[in-house]
A and B are shown apart, each in its own frame.
Chain A
Amino acid sequence: MGDSAKGTITSLDSLFSPEEAQKAVRRVEDAIADRRKELDRLRGFLSDNSALIHLVRKLPDELSHDIMVPFGSAAFFPGRLIHTNEFLVLLGEGYYADRTAKQTIEILQRRGKALEAQVDSLKVTMLDLELESKFFNSTAAEAAEGLVEIREEYMEDTPKDVFESGISVPNPPDSSKEDNSGKPDEDEVHARIMAKLDELEKEEIEDGSASGSDEDAEDSFQSNVDDGKNEASEIADLSMQFSVKAASFLSDKEQPHSIQKSPLPPEPKENLHQASVLKLEDSSENSARQTSKVGSSSRRAFTGSIVEHSHGLASIQSTKSTTPDQASGSNPSKPVSRFKMQKGIR
């Protein structure tokens, strides 16, 4: 992880303060309430209109209707509706029109259509507002929860460096690729390797080193390549990771895996790493295909030179069967050669 991806972490809190988001939500909700009232009003008009159409249709059926004629707003006269087919319709702006029942119905129907168009447009506006409020709501909730936005630069996975000593760590995600050439006895070797990795992982965990491998193994891997010891540790790290990524590794059988290139921050946990490397070496010893691993990373062109530092490897070799906690520094020469061999194979 460390060097590979640079990113920024911005808490949503800073972008949209929760209170402001709440305020925005309230504002939008107020607007929605207003629109809703308008909508109700328009709907009322529409229903009145349809009732009136019904009435106008019914009135001409009789010559006259007995009604209570209002006189002002507080008094009535008993009276009769006459000329039941003649209606005086207000067209607006003080203009009236005398129309028959049929014509009045047509006028009212046109009015109804205009009202419906208004209602539709209002509904669309309300929908937009509701979406807006939902967005604000969710933002407020997220900000309140402390959601964090993480941005990272996209780093091309280019294996810049050498992967030292053929402990090619097959990058689990990539490795499955296939750089590896044939794998005979893969299963056996694999099983062994897996077992070793598990052990290593356990040890690692006990040690309290949690290598988080999130990132591209290769990246981390490459960055460390140069330093021999480091590399060894890297490798060890990787191997640690490797066990973690066993599953993905599965696809990449051959590897001895020495080092799993998992996105490990290169921690100089040399002992551990070396130990792990050791263990790995052991397994790798069985299979000669270690270097193929490099391949994994090397899906890409292998541009670097393989620097074989015996230090890490040597120790590995020597301490093959010892506990992982072995110390470091010894530089095994054996592994180097083996790697070279493997390199040759590749």
Chain B
Amino acid sequence: MDDSRFRQEKVQKFEEFVDRRLKPDLVQAVAQRDKVLQQQKVFQDLRTNIENLEKNGVTSLRTMVNLGSEVYMQADVPDTRHIFVDIGLGFHVEFTWSEALDFISVREARLARQIDEHTHLIANIKAQIKLVSEGIRELLQIPAE
């Protein structure tokens, strides 16, 4: 009787731990990874666009600029050879296409590494959750046996 009560308390504690610490941690780690993934996508798109420009030899561009609240105005880019890329910390550097592409590759590599780290963290948390669940199951099964 004491035993079972003791076991029950332990099981409860484990469950609580899982629910209160591990699960939120998991959620947070996943959210962070998603952010990095998004940024990676942005750079991927940029790279695609620049490559397209290069391929088609586009020098000037007509585009629509969002002035705010989805009100657009026509804009003309006379010379597309120079592009200003955001390198972080609020700086934009003027690149030529090839420089921009290089930079984007470096950036992408960095982002990929960050994503890996996040993935590791997430896997870690998931493993912990599994472990605790196993422990709970053991506690419950052994008495059942």
- Residues of chain A touching chain B, judged by Cβ–Cβ distance below 8 Å, are 48-49, 51-52, 55-56, 59, 64, 67-84, 86-90, 96, 104, 108, 111
Instruction: Flag if B76 contacts A87 (CB, 8 Å).
Output: no
User: Can you name 19 extra interface pairs (CB under 8 A) apart from A73-B42, A77-B84, A79-B61?
Assistant: A56-B67, A67-B65, A69-B77, A71-B46, A71-B83, A72-B42, A72-B46, A72-B49, A74-B43, A75-B46, A75-B85, A76-B92, A77-B77, A78-B79, A78-B84, A80-B78, A84-B73, A86-B73, A108-B71
Q: Given A75-B100, A76-B84, answer yes or no on A86-B74 (Cβ-Cβ < 8 Å).
A: yes
Chain B residues whose C-beta falls within 8 Å of the C-beta of A72 in the assembled complex? 42, 45-46, 49
Chain A residues whose C-beta falls within 8 Å of the C-beta of B46 in the assembled complex? 71-72, 74-75
Instruction: Flag if A89 contacts B68 (CB, 8 Å).
Output: no
Q: B50-91 vs A: 1/0 string, CB under 8 Å? A: 000000000001011101111111111111101111100000
Chain A residues whose C-beta falls within 8 Å of the C-beta of B61 in the assembled complex? 69, 77, 79
7 shortest interchain CB distances as A-B pairs: A90-B70, A79-B77, A88-B72, A76-B84, A74-B86, A77-B77, A83-B74
**CA–CA, A56 and B71, complex, Å:** 9
Chain B residues whose C-beta falls within 8 Å of the C-beta of A79 in the assembled complex? 61, 63, 75-78
Q: Given A51-B68, A72-B42, answer yes or no on A67-B75 (Cβ-Cβ < 8 Å).
A: yes
Chain A residues whose C-beta falls within 8 Å of the C-beta of B70 in the assembled complex? 89-90
Instruction: Flag if B65 contacts A81 (CB, 8 Å).
Output: yes
27 A-B pairs (CB sep. < 8 Å): A51-B68, A52-B68, A56-B71, A59-B73, A64-B76, A69-B65, A69-B77, A72-B46, A72-B49, A74-B42, A77-B77, A77-B80, A77-B84, A78-B82, A79-B63, A79-B75, A79-B76, A81-B73, A81-B74, A82-B76, A86-B73, A88-B71, A88-B72, A88-B73, A89-B72, A90-B72, A108-B71
Chain A residues whose C-beta falls within 8 Å of the C-beta of B69 in the assembled complex? 48-49, 52, 108, 111
